[in-house]
Amino acid sequence: MSGGTPTGLTEALAQLRDGRTDAHAYLDTCYDRIDAREPQVGAWQSLRPREACHRWLDHHADWLAGTPLRGLPVAIKDIIDTADMPTTMGSALHADRQPADDAACVAALRSAGALILGKTVTTEFAYFSPGKTANPRDLRCTPGGSSSGSAAAVADGMVPVALGSQTAASVIRPAAYCGTMGYVATRGLMSLRGVQPLAQSHDSLGIMGRNFADIRLIAELLAGPLPTPSLPLQGLHILRVPGAAMGDVSPEMEAAIDKLAAQLREAGATVTDLADDGRIARLVALHGAVMAFDAARNMAGEGARPDALSPQFAELLETGRGIPLADHAAAQAEIRQLGDWLGAARAGSAAILAPAAPGSAPEGHAATGAPHMSRAWQALGLPVVTWPADVDAQGRPLGAQLIGHRWRDAELLELGRKTALLTPSPTLR
Amino acid sequence: MSGGTPTGLTEALAQLRDGRTDAHAYLDTCYDRIDAREPQVGAWQSLRPREACHRWLDHHADWLAGTPLRGLPVAIKDIIDTADMPTTMGSALHADRQPADDAACVAALRSAGALILGKTVTTEFAYFSPGKTANPRDLRCTPGGSSSGSAAAVADGMVPVALGSQTAASVIRPAAYCGTMGYVATRGLMSLRGVQPLAQSHDSLGIMGRNFADIRLIAELLAGPLPTPSLPLQGLHILRVPGAAMGDVSPEMEAAIDKLAAQLREAGATVTDLADDGRIARLVALHGAVMAFDAARNMAGEGARPDALSPQFAELLETGRGIPLADHAAAQAEIRQLGDWLGAARAGSAAILAPAAPGSAPEGHAATGAPHMSRAWQALGLPVVTWPADVDAQGRPLGAQLIGHRWRDAELLELGRKTALLTPSPTLR
């Protein structure tokens, strides 16, 4: 992944300020990578042509020089509305859908001088049915989903950062499978206006990037100014939730998390395991039920055309329609109680450490892997970061995740940055 | 308001089933009223022409005969996307905005056989800057906002039901000022996909109607089946929150609520006052701060064009941009704590009784009245109903509201129906 892939946003901005590069040259590096790799990777649903991008940079050069992003490119998951490109939601029903407006997050990036390079492949309606994308680390494997194209494009060096969204595991899992950094914001911190919802109880915005400095830069453009916490690992407490508390997990993933816990301890942190009495698994189950209830109501239009939906998605909607309101209310109340329990159990710890996925990316392109490592946190609206902590015997990334406290996203990003430095994965560099 | 205004949905459906009327005749009754009154009332942002409606009814007659709504008309607030009519959000910036899709709530009503008659006037971005609508009960007065046109159209007999949305007081206040029934759903119960957000922490969907049976019918089409509780007033406990706990309230409104409380007691209910130690007023204040924070992030695009915004809206966005994340997080946490306090304080009571507005509709069209009677409940995502409980010395409606428990919308609608029967307002019939 060296040679020919672009530097990260933050580094590129420094070079732009110094005159060591310009936005045209940066764009060409991205586009050269896309030209070389897109036929195999299939990260893009639509892509602004290279020459049109160059013309846009020329046309706006004076204005861009005063903007935070100076014309550097970003990619947008194709569940997020763009006024100048279709937004298909990965659905044949919406193949020609042209939104009237940019989503608020897109508008914020445009105002900050981003070049919206294109739309990245999403699974159908950000649920399970995969698009065309392959895993850039091993083309035989799934990239994960639903933000498949965003993860693949960033991991492969086609673009420095990309927006995604997460309802179950749609940012963290593809980032982990593709071996890049991912971040899900505290639910409610960033606007979801124009981000087509799957389940409004659970939906959050996310960012993929090649490093946490880049992710933080984008996060501040969307959320507003974040504090800059100093967070020495020495003396920090990390609470570990073993993958088995959430469902199947591979021995290699368990070993990777064990190794990471040992590295954190060496750096002066304490790492203890959450006493598991089945409550995390209960959150995992409740998440799924609430998602189905919401999705059925969101998809009132599409649900009337089940023949145009994948069988999995049609089944999700049918499940959701069958959930009595009293059951949904009870599930919401129980999620809240479990959140209070977890809040007390984790009080005093900086973050929760867990596998980001059940293992490395599975082979095959018919499915995107299992989401159970993310459901519990997503049900609670917590911020999460992931990074490639190790690789398995085939050299495929093994992603760890850290789960933060609500609204304390800046702390989590800083902790992610520091922890990722403990675990360099040479084969991914 | 008698003679020439249509019957309610539920009654009309019974007549349609018996063959005593047909959808064309019902439509004409609505349209005759619109033709007579729209020049004064100004409820509609866009309106499907009468002949086009008749053709639509003819074209879909066979299908409509098997649907729940059988081609009866509904109105949609112009903050809610429609694929076949512009959705302007009451903003000059979006005067020609044509959404790609129906909002989920519109799709659900269409699937149920609704005739989408038109779009009703909203204040700018569902905030304070008024549209062209006058109060149909007294044209010198504001209709309230932001769902100004929905309330006016229903209250004036132009359409039996209308969708609205509420972030602060945008359904309850206009319904109260115009003298009709209004309902705000438990936040999260109904999909907000395609409902343009003002503040996602607070936004809820609402329904205006001429009676609670009609509102319940529409609610079930959007939320799914609701239970049918039996809720005798005898023995019920109602907790009253005096208007003064929330801010200014007129003596006439206080008297109307006193009278209603006496009527409830006569019917066998007990009514006691919440011990007020300033916590409700604190919720009112916190609501406003959270709304500003969210709105600033939702309006990333429009916020870059302050000259195209009303001064009030530009100020809201500027306020929101200036709120530090730590303050927002603290506000969200405090709202949650206050919700726990209120939940304990109201345990065992069926609903909270309060004024729906500070008084009757103020004269003038430059503002839409004050929202403080709704902010506390809206911050907590609670379901609310309003109805005209009395009239003031000028014959203007005085609305009461009942605030329910989250997810127990069916109970609240039934309680609203029964309580409204205690307080017939002859001048509004």
Asked whether residue B96 carries a pLDDT value surpassing 70, the answer given is yes
- Catalytic, B425? Answer no
Cross-chain Cβ contact B300/A108 below 8 Å: yes
Q: Please report the sign of the dihedral spanned by the C-alpha atoms of residue A283, residue A284, residue A289, residue A294.
A: positive
Q: Which two tokens stand for residue A84?
A: 């100048």
Asked whether residue B427 carries a pLDDT value surpassing 80, the answer given is no
Cross-chain Cβ contact B325/A223 below 8 Å: yes
* Nearest residue to B347 via CA among B400, B405, B401: B405
For A148-167, the pLDDT digits (tens) are 999 999 999 999 999 999 99
A165 part of contact set with chain B, CB < 8 Å: no
Asked if B44 and B149 touch (Cβ cutoff 8 Å), the reply is yes
Q: Return the pLDDT at A293.
A: 98
For B:270-299, CB contacts with A below 8 A are: 294, 296-299
Asked whether residue B97 carries a pLDDT value surpassing 80, the answer given is yes
Asked whether residue A344 carries a pLDDT value surpassing 80, the answer given is yes
pLDDT band (50, 70, 90) for residue A4: low
Residue A196, CA atoms < 13 Å, CB-side half-sphere: 34
Residue B369, SS3?
coil
Gap between the Cα atoms of A359 and A399, Å rounded: 8
Report the residue of chain A nearest B86, measured CA to CA: A100
B242 min Cα distance to partner chain A (Å): 29
CB-nearest partner of B111 from A191, A294, A304: A304
Question: Which residues of A54-155 form beta strands (DSSP E)?
Answer: 73-77, 115-120
* Average of per-residue pLDDT across A53-61: 98
Q: Is A278 exposed, middle or buried (0-12, 13-18, 19+ CB in 10 A)?
A: exposed
pLDDT band (50, 70, 90) for residue B147: very high
Mean pLDDT for chain A overall = 96
A407 min Cα distance to partner chain B (Å): 6
B226 part of contact set with chain A, CB < 8 Å: yes
* Average of per-residue pLDDT across B107-119: 98
CB-nearest partner of B298 from A191, A226, A325: A191
DSSP secondary structure string for all residues of B59-110: HTHHHHTTSSSTT-EEEEETTB-BTTB---TT-GGGTT---SS--HHHHHHH
Q: Return the pLDDT at B428.
A: 55
For B348-374, the pLDDT digits (tens) are 999 999 999 999 999 999 999 999 999
Asked if A31 and A52 touch (Cβ cutoff 8 Å), the reply is no
A296 contacts on B by Cβ (under 8 Å): 224
Q: Return the pLDDT at B424.
A: 72
User: What ipTM was predicted for this assembly?
Assistant: 0.96
Gap between the Cα atoms of A248 and B361, Å rounded: 61
Asked if A182 and A172 touch (Cβ cutoff 8 Å), the reply is yes
Gap between the Cα atoms of B33 and B35, Å rounded: 5
Question: Which residues of B81-186 form beta strands (DSSP E)?
Answer: 115-120, 161-166, 181-184
Asked whether residue A106 carries a pLDDT value surpassing 90, the answer given is yes
A321 part of contact set with chain B, CB < 8 Å: yes
Who contacts A315 (Cβ-Cβ below 8 Å, separation ≥6)? none
HEC string of B218-252? HHHHHHCCCCCCCCCCCCCEEEECCHHHCCCCCHH
* Average of per-residue pLDDT across A359-385: 97
Mean pLDDT for chain B overall = 96
Domains and CATH numbers, chain A: 1-276+338-429 (3.90.1300.10)
For A:179-198, CB contacts with B below 8 A are: 188-193, 196-197
* Average of per-residue pLDDT across B373-397: 97
Q: Return the pLDDT at B196.
A: 98
CB-nearest partner of A224 from B108, B321, B406: B321
* Average of per-residue pLDDT across A102-112: 98
- Catalytic, B191? Answer no
- Catalytic, B259? Answer no
Asked whether residue A425 carries a pLDDT value surpassing 90, the answer given is no
Q: Which of A13-22, A231-240, B420-429 has the lowest mean pLDDT?
A: B420-429
Q: Return the pLDDT at A406.
A: 98
Q: Return the pLDDT at A427.
A: 52
Q: Which two tokens stand for residue A21?
A: 């590069």
Q: Return the pLDDT at B425.
A: 63
pLDDT band (50, 70, 90) for residue A3: very low
Q: Which residues of A are catalytic?
A: 77, 146, 170
A391 min Cα distance to partner chain B (Å): 36
CB-nearest partner of A201 from B108, B188, B225: B188
B201 min Cα distance to partner chain A (Å): 7
Q: Are strands B270-273 and B237-240 parallel, antiparallel or unpaired?
A: parallel
Task: Count A/B contacts: CB-CB distance under 8 Å.
Answer: 128
pLDDT band (50, 70, 90) for residue B3: very low
Gap between the Cα atoms of A206 and A170, Å rounded: 9
Q: Return the pLDDT at A276.
A: 79
A319 part of contact set with chain B, CB < 8 Å: no
B294 contacts on A by Cβ (under 8 Å): 188, 191
Q: Return the pLDDT at B184.
A: 98
